[in-house]
Amino acid sequence: MKKKIVRSMVWVLALGLILCTLIAAFVFETKFTGRAKEDMQRLASSLALSAQQTGERDAAEAKRLSSATGGLRVTFVDEEGQVTGDSFADPETMENHADRQEILGAAEAKYGVSVRRSDTTGRNMLYVATRLDGGGFIRVAGEYPDALSGFISFLPATLIGAVAAFLIARVLAGRLSRSISQPIEELSSSLKLVRSGEVKLDPTSYRYDELQEMAADINQLSAEVDGNFRKLQDERARIDYVLDNMSEGLILLDAQEEILTINQAACGFLGCEKSVAGRNIIYATRQMEFIDAVDAAVRRAQAARIELETTAGLVVEAVVSPVVRPEGEQPLAEAAIVVLSDVTIRCNAVRMRQEFFSNASHELKTPITSIKGFAELLCSGAELSEEKRREFAGRILKEAGTMQNLIGDIIMISRLEAGDITFEREVLDLADILRECCADIKPLADQSGITVTCMAQQAVISASRREMQELAGNLIQNAVRYNGEGGYVDVKLTNGPDGILLSVHNTGSYIEPQYQQRVFERFYRIDKGRSKAMGGTGLGLAIVKHVASHYGAELGLISTPQEGTTFTVHFPAASHGE
């Protein structure tokens, strides 16, 4: 800026000097020409008087008069324009001067004046002619400098003046530029701090009114920007807080598929960080199905709904919707919105429902087939002994009981999972329920020579009697059914500061580690043949799991080949009185 001001002042000064020089030269030439014309006219009058006294009009007289004037050119011209005498040239060689401007002027007035280049001498001349008494003209001519010569004569003084002016202008321009640029630079630097709201200028410290107004405007602008920026920060913080506390993931993309906004849930689903904001979607995930859906929404304005499997084992539904702006007849995708939802529970529920119906159908098929077979034998008319008939009828009754138990368990677990069954709670002693269950299972245990012991401390709990009977009864029945001949079942109930602990131990069965988590699945049996032979439905432990989960209890399973298997149910102390 400083250099520009100095250069501008130098150019203005140079232009001014040139104009002044030209004007001075013009004025000088005008004044010089006028003065010269007056002198030449007086000289011409004097020479005319001298020539009239002698009466001579030849070259000798012209040379005499020229010598008397200090070497000016003197020419005699007759009425016809013929040169009769000239101090510089031979009259015989000179052309007719009747058309010369000074001769024509002298013929009409007292004097004729002309400035032109002489064909004889080749110089710029001032010609003044006057009429002689008795006829003819006398002309006096002197060398006259042209405008260029006059300008050149001014050039040395002009150059000296220009150098002096440049030096002075340099100093003045430097001071002026500093007085202007320094406050402007300060104002410019303060504009960079407007965003932070730290600008507080003193308008009275500036010399110029315009800069004072600018400083006041910057102070006001800084205050407004600071206020608006704080509002935007607060608004953005609120929006980020809301978005990050959503269970659904949200991603906003621009037309270049760059992430404008991404919340914490979306980062968790895609396995990325929030720092991917501002970058392309490929930095957030490499799942091509998802990227293709985003590309279709942004490029072709096509909505999509896809399911993704994450590394954490979740199933995430992604709904990709384009944000379009009509432009003529073709929609132009400006951006896209992606909403991610965890549908793992729903998908698992659908899968479990499918498996449930498939397993239920399979489990019901066996007793129904058996009942149908024995019924057909009884109805076939074949000769059967009374003993066989009683055996077949007993088998039918047994399979019908198995099917009834299975249907009952299916209805129970279905209603437990759906949550549409409500059992009234009551304050009861869990020890009494255990004793009842042990008493109910004793006939089955005696058939196999299995000893069942029950040691139960008083454990008062607020719960549904039906659910507690299902939980304890299934654990004790399984312990008896999957035990060996002469085995032992130990049922314990302890009540301590940490809560109520129910333990059911049997010595007969060993569950290998790879099966220990699966035994709580519906219809899962390690030994399917033995389970069916014992009348199991495959739903007992699944019911136990749902009941325990409903009361916030923790299930445990310990199994060793030497000591057998122990199932535990731990009711936390906080859940007793619920």
232 and 253 co-located in one domain: no
Is 474 part of a structural domain of the chain? yes
pLDDT digits (tens, 9 = 90+) for 78-126: 888 888 888 888 888 888 888 888 888 888 888 888 888 877 667 788 8
Both 391 and 502 in one domain: the answer is no
CA distances from 542 to 254, 411, 546 (A): 49, 13, 6
Q: Supply 227's token pair.
A: 């206020």
How confident is the model at residue 10, as a pLDDT? Answer: 64
Are 224 and 316 in the same domain?
A: no
488-496 and 451-456 beta bridge pairing? parallel
- Residue 199, both tokens: 């600008």
Residue 196 inside a domain? The answer is: no
At a CB cut-off of 8 Å and minimum separation 6, what does 531 contact? 481, 482, 525, 538
Place of tokens 């060689």: 93
Residue at a domain's end among 383, 418, 453: 418
What is the amino acid identity at position 47? L
Bridge partners, residue 66, by sequence: none
- What pLDDT score does 532 carry? 46
Of 139, 124, 147, the residue nearest 72 (C-alpha)? 139
Counting the structural domains of the chain, the total is: 5
Structural domain contains residue 158:
no
Report pLDDT for 502.
92
User: Does the pLDDT at position 577 exceed 50?
Assistant: no
User: For residue 77, is it within any domain?
Assistant: yes
Are residues 252 and 385 both part of a single domain? no
The amino acid present at 3, given as its one-letter code, is: K
**Rounded average pLDDT over 552-567:** 87
Average of pLDDT values for 500-512?
Answer: 85
> Residue 127: phi, psi to the nearest 5?
-105, 130
Q: Give the range of the structural domain holding residue 210, as residue numbers without chain letter.
A: 203-241
Average pLDDT, stretch 335-349? 80
Q: Which long-range contacts (CB under 8 A, 24 or more apart) does 341-350 make?
A: 341/247, 341/248, 341/249, 341/316, 341/317, 342/247, 342/269, 342/314, 342/315, 342/316, 343/307, 343/315, 343/316, 343/317, 344/313, 344/314, 344/315, 344/316, 347/307, 347/315, 348/315
Is 382 in the same domain as 467?
Answer: no
**C-alpha count within 13 angstroms, C-beta hemisphere, residue 433:** 24
Domain co-membership, 209 together with 334: no
List Cβ neighbours of 529 (8 Å cut-off, separation of 6 or more).
none
296: CATH = 3.30.450.20
Contact residues for 354 (Cβ-Cβ < 8 A; gap 6+):
none
181 closest CA partner among 8, 7, 4, 13: 4
Quickly state the pLDDT bin for 490 (edges 50, 70, 90): very high
Task: Report how far residue 28's alpha carbon sits from residue 179's, in angstroms, rounded to the nearest whole number.
Answer: 40
Does 166 map to a domain? no
Q: Are 411 and 435 part of one and the same domain?
A: no
Question: How buried is 534 (Cβ within 10 angstroms: 0-12 exposed, 13-18 middle, 19+ buried)?
Answer: middle
pLDDT in tens, 396-430: 887 777 677 667 666 666 666 655 556 678 889 99
Measured distance CA(442)–CA(465) in Å, rounded: 21
Helix ranges (DSSP H) in 342-429: 344-379, 386-418
Residues 434 and 523 in one domain: yes
Q: Give the separation between CA 68 and CA 129, rounded to whole angstroms.
A: 17
Tokens of 541: 């432990």
Query: The pTM is what?
Result: 0.41
Structure tokens belonging to residue 548: 């325990």
| CA distances from residue 529 to 525, 538, 564 in whole angstroms, order as listed | 9, 12, 20
Residue with the bigger pLDDT between 18 and 431: it is: 431
User: Where among 241, 271, 288 does a domain terminate?
Assistant: 241
Same domain for 46 and 87?
Answer: yes
Q: Which strand ranges, in their side-by-side order, compose the sheet holding 124-131? A: 83-86, 73-77, 137-143, 124-131, 111-117
Mean pLDDT of 543-567: 86
What are the start-end ranges of the H helices in 245-343?
Answer: 264-270, 288-300
Domain end (from 309, 342, 375): 342
How far apart, in whole angstroms, are the C-alpha atoms of residue 342 and residue 263?
A: 14
- Alpha-carbon distance of 19 to 25, in angstroms, equals 10
User: Which pLDDT belongs to residue 549?
Assistant: 84
Average pLDDT, the chain: 77
Given a cut of 60, whether residue 575 has pLDDT beyond it is no
Residue 289: C-alpha distances to residues 248, 270, 274, 281 (Å): 19, 13, 21, 12
Residue, of 369 and 111, whose pLDDT is higher: 111
Q: How many CB atoms lie within 10 A of CB 320?
A: 24
Q: What is the Cβ-side half-sphere exposure of residue 353, based on CA atoms within 13 angstroms?
A: 9
Give the 3-state secondary structure of residue 43.
helix
User: Does residue 432 sit in the same domain as residue 529?
Assistant: yes
Tell me, yes or no, whether 192 lies in a domain. no
187 within a domain of the structure (yes/no): no
Instruction: Look up residue 519 and give its DSSP letter.
Output: G
337 or 364: which leads in pLDDT: 337
Q: Is the dihedral of CA 208, 210, 214, 217 positive or negative?
A: positive
One-letter amino acid at 145 equals: P
What is the model's pLDDT at position 333?
46
What's 396's domain CATH number?
A: 1.10.287.130
pLDDT tens, residue by residue, 262-272: 888 888 888 88
Q: 304 and 436, same structural domain? A: no
In a domain, 193, yes or no: no
Tokens 């139960």 correspond to: 456
**Same domain (yes/no): 63, 95:** yes
